[in-house]
Amino acid sequence: MEIQFDIEFKESAPKYMQIIKSLLMAVSKGKLKRGDKIPSINKLSEEYLLSRDTVEKAYKHRIKDGVLVSVRGKGYFINRVDIENTTRILLIFNKISNYKKHIYNAFVENMGRNVNVDLHIHHSNINIFKNLIKNSLGEYDYYVIMPHFYEKADEANEVLKLIPAEKLILLDKDMELGGQKHSAVYQNFEKDIVAALNDALDLLSHYTKIILIFPTMILYPKEIIKGFRIFCIQHQLEHEILYDFPENNQVVEKAAYVVIEENDLVNLIKECRQQRLVIGKDVGIISYNETPLKEILLDGITTISTDHELMGKTAAQLINEGRQALVKNPFTLIRRKSL
């Protein structure tokens, strides 16, 4: 006997995905049992006015995971009922780095079991990002995205609006999406650096100048520059912005350096040694983004950093608890001997 299962189609998701979800729902509720025969591809396509390819694609997905079995000359049958609904998450980063690995690991660990996390990188390229989103609409339960775009940000904004608000979590940076009530676990790059440098003001007062080394080869939010300038102007501190710090670049004695990128940090330390300058006395260093290495390098490098593990954990909690929220991730100064 052939058993029917109900499908309620919605415009927001691909039809084959809705067939898949309806089939799993019927199995999980006991409406379909092991050995039950379901409608043929032709019959289901005729009943719901679908293309044969759409139904076949859905059935192939369920054959692959063992839920369905195809018996030649007889049709399609339920093969497994010991299934658990898996939460599918599309996780999109702008780049891979050491601290983003911490975010990823914390996110996956706190999501727990029965979760499938697909990680992709958009490299701040709007075309890559657009294709990732358009090709995945309706296929995931949640979209967790780092929206760092330095060109065509407006276009990225429009792409984000294609995702249902209740399924979208922005990570690391929040964006205004025209009133759309999405979730976010974010940094405020401008205000965060101001607050962190204010916490270091007593140490910075030992230096005559503050220099921000801002990278050009690797993209970082320009709000960091704005926040740095605001802090220096507020306290009437002599300051300068260097774009990159190549090898053999002269270090300014009695200056405190705020370093964003780790390659620049290495070059700065090398040059201090060449000039026989004592870090923490002749030259101060504050490094952006905490890593385990910075805790021990030079007996400890002072850092200003968000809590990357907490960011991943909080995003997972929002999904696990089924709630929407805008959560400002903590950003702190960690004092060590380099300042």
pLDDT band at 11 (very low <50, low <70, confident <90, very high): low
Q: What is the mean pLDDT of residues 323-327?
A: 94
pTM, to two decimals: 0.77
CB count within 10 Å of CB 327 equals 17
Per-residue pLDDT at 195 exceeds 90: yes
- Nearest-Å Rg of the Cα atoms of the chain is 26
Average pLDDT across the chain, whole number: 91
pLDDT band at 313 (very low <50, low <70, confident <90, very high): very high
* Confidence (pLDDT) at 249: 92
pLDDT band at 1 (very low <50, low <70, confident <90, very high): low
Per-residue pLDDT at 13 exceeds 70: no
pLDDT band at 30 (very low <50, low <70, confident <90, very high): confident
pLDDT band at 179 (very low <50, low <70, confident <90, very high): confident
Residue 139 burial class via C-beta count within 10 angstroms: exposed 0-12, middle 13-18, buried 19 and up: middle
Per-residue pLDDT at 74 exceeds 70: yes
Per-residue pLDDT at 12 exceeds 60: no
Per-residue pLDDT at 2 exceeds 70: no
Per-residue pLDDT at 22 exceeds 90: no
Out of 82-91, 92-101, 124-133, 297-306, which region has the weakest mean confidence (pLDDT)? 82-91
Query: In the β-sheet with 168-172, what is the strand arrangement from edge to edge?
Result: 115-121, 87-93, 142-145, 168-172, 183-186, 326-328
Residue-wise pLDDT tens digits, 46-70: 988 889 998 998 898 888 778 899 9
DSSP string, 28-40: HTTSS-TT-EE--
Per-residue pLDDT at 41 exceeds 80: yes
Q: What is the mean pLDDT of residues 2-25?
A: 73
Q: Are 23 and 67 in contact (CB under 8 A)?
A: yes
Domains of the chain: 15-78 (1.10.10.10), 87-187+308-330 (3.40.50.2300), 190-306 (3.40.50.2300)
Tokens, residue 146: 């780092």
